[in-house]
Structure 1
């Protein structure tokens, strides 16, 4: 018998659609008010796409959890969470789950700085040293040229972060773009001097409270112990939470997706800043290189930097954007001022930016050159797929689909190097060494590959092999004097003499113990402990003074268990020794 389909009356059709929408809200956990504010079938379709696609992306990219907000007409039209706060506990994400914002800290700080500009308390083009001298760099007279505008547009000449206690200027201030967190640290000190307040107190007063951001702070709060998501590495291993006790304008903000969306909508709506100041914030100050990690690359025609925020323009379509990356938390924000629309998302994973293009395109359906500029591996990239299969299959099986006819990996040298280091960092030393050995076979003339393989051997306790490969790296690249120094240290037969002695008892199973501190520019591979009986010993010749340090045991940086003297510096606790 042929089935007969009866068309429902119009009222019944509307009722059916309403019931389907209600059921979808029940099963996704989405608030009804967020949908009611949007209106229109287009928004409902977007929500359905997000609810269908994001769980698939989390699975494909091995991301434990994600929070997202969509902005329409200058308001948060939709917010949702997916996945879990911790892969171990399986506790579900919540709307008020707190994430590390990483470099998304910078735009909020910039916004607060521009309020000081509006008040006449900060001049964007006045050298910062006139507000506050900076002893860390006063040996270089060029620092007296650095202004707030240069810091906010990343043209100060500072590196992103100093590798040691010695800050340097890499080029003439104002000359070109080079992303720098150090510049923000200096500007933070200036702002604290101007306002007479600690950074978090100042921004709470000027930004968090007025904009309604109750779950945001540049320092750790007790309520974050239960609200905060757990960080995860690229293999979904949970990591310890970073709990900053000192604010860092460039990186220490903790926040939620709705809170950060309140900030973005304030920028879109011109809240809190004079019209001309907001316009300056969103006006290109400098074009950036087409490749973020290659300063010599041609300048991009589509991506630039404003005051504290990235900018992109495609065929007259202007947007502002920024990304955040603290290794185990990665996030992204983008908004179009003309249409007052945008997207904000946070993840608790090293893999969080592998899905950036897919998510942003879902919301905007537009070309995103800024995502190309930051250049993170998409989750469909061969290197990404290889890395994700290693824990399940092992290195040998995981690499097979990506071997060329000569049986060498068809994956770029730098990608293989990165995968090897991520494995080493996650404690999988044998697997990391195996990946780096494959890279060595594929790129036998690369000094960097030998240096990396030597490091893996070092972590694996193979000091002689490590020394040989460090020497090979030095031979291929004589500028790499550090490799020669490490090789010489490794081949030294005895504990060197010195007036400062460091001892570590126990840790009989450790393969490598080193010393890093202010006396060696925090280089973990300059001074090595030697095992003597049931303890490890290291001696140095130090001039009289006070030094901070940590002991590095098989790659883990720890306080000296035999020294109760501890000091907190820039939010980090270090052991302290005084040499008389």
Structure 2
């Protein structure tokens, strides 16, 4: 690790660098970005990493960066390799899959059709759909799904995201994807929540939008997007072609999974183009972000009007989501952007709404933490307003360490342990690794990994010591955790100890006392199970899912989750049994049928 102010010479590892004609960048500015990678929270005096160190740490083969300053691209630079076999360097023209950043670009195209009078933001999407219709249901009786709901993830549509198709697999038509029909590897897209009531991320919604745009324009989606967005914004290296044509393939990076293995076939094909199908460069996406900034300022009329661009960035249903783009309010500053993840590719675009700076980062690996570190490096180096939380560490004495150490509970649902070793305070959340805590005021503590302040207070009358979790932006108390007495346990701890029967008994007792307790929420238990499955604690995850089955025996989803854990553990017969049970409770859960087929094939292969 290196100190923040220490600048390193450019290494041969850094493949290429270019700047726009409008700007000449001081070399030290680029070097600062290359040496300022940091934790989510910066404690003054902390060491930072170089980009080379973190690419090696995460196993990121290649990355391309475009930095925005003063409403224009300040510089573009590329690092590493686009393919491990050929060792070909990443250049500023290397094509990366943008993943879900495809969505805001596609949204821009849809809003252009709105301005052309071809689609109404507020009308029923079935007014425009011809090749396929969004099925009506009990959830659409009062309010129909409109384009604004698809753009905003508030339409109540199913299917979060898509896996894509390796070259050895047949690629489904768009209608087959919409219906969840073979050879599609995703479920049917339909409405199972009342529109405009809440946010739920849905790549499925963007796939419906894609079909609607095709039906309205009577053009292929790649051609339509080229005409509506890519050509007007001079995104000359970008395309929605899926798969790429032969000449384009020469410029395309190879994708690499989190374990470093190659994406099957080097890259997947995504017929769900609006949701995940954009191939692009950092420069082109930076042009997209700059256009939004300039249009909001009244300095561009390349495509969308100022009024429509303002609408795109206006919160709708939830304060963090506009029409196709996410809005991130940090103190008094407003940033907009979107992240992306395809198989073997991760990316991020973020820009300030009205101060003319931002960054685009594209990688050919799935390591979003690396991207976050690099974004913070740009923010620190360019002094972005209120982006990287920065604190100064204060001394803490032995008495204070002893006083606040202990186990704190939030009802029956959560547990945080505070302890100290060698005069360093640590915080350990349920199912997480310990993190160091630093005192930053008389009663406030912070970790490098999380910008949520922690405050310790003592109730005047009872003398009860509490731990308060503070909302980092609103500065209000989000949760109050109570210091636990010796021998106290929450239900989860019995499962963690391997005592399933006692754990189940404890959860059933909570359910009996208060069925609305978060500890026995079906969704909370499901998330908890997946949290432990994500860190390969499969037995604990399986036990959590089993508790959920016994608490909610009529829910199809609990059996689906339990079956997945059984499959990962290797109990294939039990997995099949529970996928069958899930499907019997909900025949729309076609994923269960696909998993049964996959497991049966796996069993057959084992016999052979």
Which one of 275, 281, 286 corresponds to residue 317 of structure 2?
A: 286
1:137 to 135, 138, 142: 135
Q: Does 1:92 align with 2:70?
A: no
Indicate the residue corresponding to 2:532 in structure 1.
Answer: 416
Aligned to 2:259: 235
Among 66, 90, 104, the residue aligned to 1:69? 66
Question: Match of 1:127?
Answer: 124
The answer on whether the counterparts of 1:85 and 1:92 sit within 8 Å (CA) in structure 2 is: yes
The separation in 1 between residues aligned to 2:560 and 2:591, in whole angstroms, is 19
CA deviation after TM superposition for structure 1 residue 28, in Å: 2.9
1:524 to 594, 599, 602: 594
Instruction: State the TM-score, normalized to the length of structure 2.
Output: 0.59
| 1:439–1:117 distance in 2 versus 1, CA, 3 Å | closer
Q: Which residue of 2 aligns with 1:212?
A: 234
For residues 157-179 of structure 1, the C-alpha deviation after alignment (integer angstroms, 9 at most, x for no partner) is 11234876543312211122111
- The match for 2:276 is 251
Question: Alpha carbons of 1:364 and 1:408: their partners in 2 closer, same or farther (altered >3 Å)?
Answer: farther
The equivalent residue for 1:54 is: 51
Q: C-alpha distance in 2, partners of 1:139/1:109?
A: 27
Q: Deviations over 1:342-370 (max 9, x none)?
A: 0111122222x122432222112455599
**Residue in 2 aligned with 1:153?**
152
Residue in structure 1 matched with residue 372 of structure 2 by the alignment: 357
1:437 counterpart residue number: 539
Superposed displacement of residue 93, structure 1: 2.0
Q: CA deviation at 1:455?
A: 4.4
- TM-superposed CA distance for 1:196, in Å, is 2.0
Instruction: Give the 5 Å matches for 1:469-488.
Output: 470=578, 481-482=581-582
Distance between the aligned counterparts of 2:228 and 2:87, measured in 1? Answer: 36
1: CA distance between counterparts of 2:496 and 2:119?
A: 60
Alpha-carbon distance in 1 for matches of 2:306, 2:597: 55
| Native 8 Å contact 1:35 1:78 kept in 2 | no
State the secondary structure of the residue aligned to 1:146. Answer: coil
The alignment yields a C-alpha RMSD, in angstroms, of 4.3
Offset at 1:82? 2.1
Q: How far does residue 135 in structure 1 lie from its aligned partner after superposition?
A: 2.7
How far residue 54 of structure 1 moved from its aligned partner, in angstroms, is 1.7
Counterparts of 2:604 and 2:75, CA distance in 1: 43
* Alpha-carbon distance, 1:201 to partner: 0.4
SS at match of 1:313: strand
Q: What is the alpha-carbon distance in structure 2 between the residues aligned to residue 91 and residue 555 of structure 1?
A: 41
For residue 88 of structure 1, report the CA deviation from its aligned partner.
Answer: 4.4
Closer/same/farther in 2, CA of residues 75 and 152 from structure 1, 3 Å limit? same
Distance 1:416 1:88 in 2: 35
Aligned length: 419
Residues 288-339 of structure 1, C-alpha deviations (whole Å, 9 max, x = no match) = 5xxxxxxxxxxxxxxx111110011223211111111224322111001311
Rounded to whole Å, the distance in 2 between the matches of 1:226 and 1:382 is 47
| Cross-structure match for 2:169 | none
- Residue 113 (structure 2) pairs with residue 113 (structure 1): no
What residue in structure 1 maps to residue 43 of structure 2?
A: none
**Conservation of the 8 A alpha-carbon contact between 1:86 and 1:238:** no
Indicate the residue corresponding to 2:248 in structure 1.
Answer: 224
- Counterpart CA distance in 2 for 1:527 and 1:26 is 50
Runs (5+) with no aligned partner, structure 2: 1-6, 38-48, 161-177, 181-185, 296-301, 390-428, 435-492, 499-526, 550-556
Quote the residue 2:473 is aligned against.
Answer: none
Whole-Å Cα distance in 2 between the matches of residues 520 and 526 of structure 1? 10
In 1, distance between residues paired with 2:274 and 2:155? 16
Change in 2 beyond 3 A, CA 1:334/1:529 = closer
The alpha-carbon distance between structure 1 residues 233 and 416, as it changes in their structure 2 partners (threshold 3 A), is: farther
Q: What whole-Å deviation, never above 9, does each CA across 1:134-158 have from its counterpart, x for those lacking one? A: 4341456718711111111111111
Which structure would you say has the larger RCO, counting Cα contacts within 8 Å and 6 or more residues apart?
Answer: 2
1:173 maps to what in 2? 195
The TM-score with structure 1 as length reference comes to: 0.62
158-167 vs 357-366, greater mean Cα deviation: 158-167
Q: SS where residue 211 of structure 1 aligns?
A: coil
More displaced stretch, 435-444 vs 186-195: 435-444
Q: Give the drift of 1:192.
A: 1.7
Equivalent residue for 1:202?
A: 224
CA distance in 2, matches of 1:177, 1:153: 8
Distance 1:415 1:175, change over 3 A: closer
SS at match of 1:37: coil
Aligned with 1:286: secondary structure? coil
